[in-house]
A and B are shown apart, each in its own frame.
Chain A
Amino acid sequence: MGLEEKAGNLGIITTTLENVVNWSRTRAMWPLLSGLACCAIEMMAAQSSHYDMSRFGMELMRASPRQSDLLIVAGRVTNKMAPVLRRLYDQMPIPKWVIAMGDCASNGGVFNNYAIIQGVDEVLPVDVYVAGCPPRPEALINGILLLYDKVQGEKITHWS
C-alpha cells in the first residue's frame, strides 16, 4: 500500500510519538450513536453507503458512551435533555471530542425560546461547529475532517 515503498527493505519507519498516536486516534474515531432531532437523519445519511463515513475510520456508531470517542450533538438540545447529554459526555473515556452539528446545537438556531439551550457549548466543550439546517452529509464529513486536522496538531502536552 505504499508503506512498503517508504520502508524500503529495512522494515523500519522513524516518526514521532505524537504523530503515531494522533494518527491512530483519527483513524479509528468511533462516534456515539445518539441523535436529538432532525440533524440525526443527516448523520444517518452520512453513515450510510452513499456518503460512507467508514472511509474516515468511523466503521460503526457505538451504542455505549464507554466505547466511543466522539459525540456528535445532532439536533437541538432542550433544557431537559442537557443533563442527560452531559452525563453521556462524562461517561465517555478520555480522549474525547464533541462536534456541534447544525445551527441548533451550535447557537440555538431558530429556537430562541424557553425550552432550548442556546448552544450546546453551555453544557459541553465543543471542538467543531458545523453550520447548516440541517447540514448536508458533506458538511458533516467536512467537520469531521476539520476535527482530524485539530487532533493531528495536538501536542503531547495537550494529552490528558
Chain B
Amino acid sequence: MSDHIQQAAETIKKKFKAEVSMFRDQVTLQFDKVHILEVCQILRDDFSFGVLTDETVVDYWQRKEPRFQIVYQLHSREHDARIFLRTPVAEDDSSTLSVVPLYPNANWYEREIWDLFGIRFEGHPDLRRLLLPKGYEGHPLRKDVPIKVEETRFSFNYDDIDLGKPRAEE
C-alpha cells in the first residue's frame, strides 16, 4: 500500500468508521451508504481521486444481508493510485445517493444500474432506462429473475413449445 492510499484510507476510516480491507494491493473501503457523497468529496478534493473508473453493483442474493453492494472504483492520475469503495444497500430499501454531482460520468453508470438491478439513485438528474427497451418490466440482472425465458427445445418437446409461440404475419 502506497503512502498516498494509506493516508486516504486512514482518513476515511477515522471519519466514517469504514472497514479497510486489502486484496493483492487493492484497497477497499466499506462504509454506510449515507456517507458516499462526503467520502467521494474528500477523496476527490483532498486526495486527487479525480476519475470515477467504474460504478457497478453486486447482488449477494441469499448469501448476505444486506443484499446489494454498490462498488465504486476511483483513480488518481497524479499518484497512479486506485481505491475501491463499497456501500451495502438493503433489499427492501434499494436506493442510495447519486454521485453525479461529484463525478458527472456516473450518470450513465447509475442509469445502467437502475435499468438492470433496479436500485434507485436519489439526486440523479435523469434516471431512465439505459439499455433495455422502453416499457420493459422488471430488472433482469437481479439474481432472483429466472435466466431462461423459454423451455429448451429438444426433439421430444419441440412441438409443445413450438405450438405456443407467437408467429409473425406477412
Contact = CB atoms under 8 A, between A and B. Distances in A.
Interface size class of A (residues with CB under 8 A): 10 to 19
Nearest to B145: A114
A79 B166 CA distance: 14
A122 B147 contact: no
Counting contact residues on chain B (CB < 8 A from A), the size range is 10 to 19
A125 B149 contact: no
B136 to A, nearest CB: 7
Contacts of B140: 113-115
Nearest to A83: B133
Contact of B133 (A80, A108, A113, A160): A80
A121 interface: yes
Given A79-B133, A112-B147, A123 B153 contact: no
Contacts of A108: 150
Nearest to B131: A80
A118 B167 CA distance: 11
Contacts of A28: none
Contact of B169 (A79, A113, A125): A125
A118 B170 contact: no
B22 interface: no
Contact of A113 (B149, B152, B170): B149
B150 A118 contact: yes
A113 B148 contact: yes
B152 A112 contact: yes
B149 A80 contact: no
A139 interface: no
Contact of A79 (B136, B165, B167): B136
Given A122-B165, A124-B168, A107 B136 contact: no
A118 B150 CA distance: 8
B34 interface: no
A119 B132 contact: no
A113 B165 contact: no
Give the 3 A-B CB pairs with smallest separation, nearest first. A114-B140, A80-B133, A118-B150
5 contacts: A113-B140, A113-B148, A122-B167, A123-B168, A124-B168
Interface of A: 79-80, 83, 86, 107-108, 112-115, 118-119, 121-125, 160
Given A79-B133, A125-B168, 20 more contacts: A79-B132, A79-B136, A83-B133, A86-B168, A112-B147, A112-B148, A112-B150, A112-B152, A113-B140, A113-B148, A114-B145, A115-B140, A119-B165, A121-B168, A122-B165, A122-B167, A123-B168, A124-B168, A125-B169, A125-B170
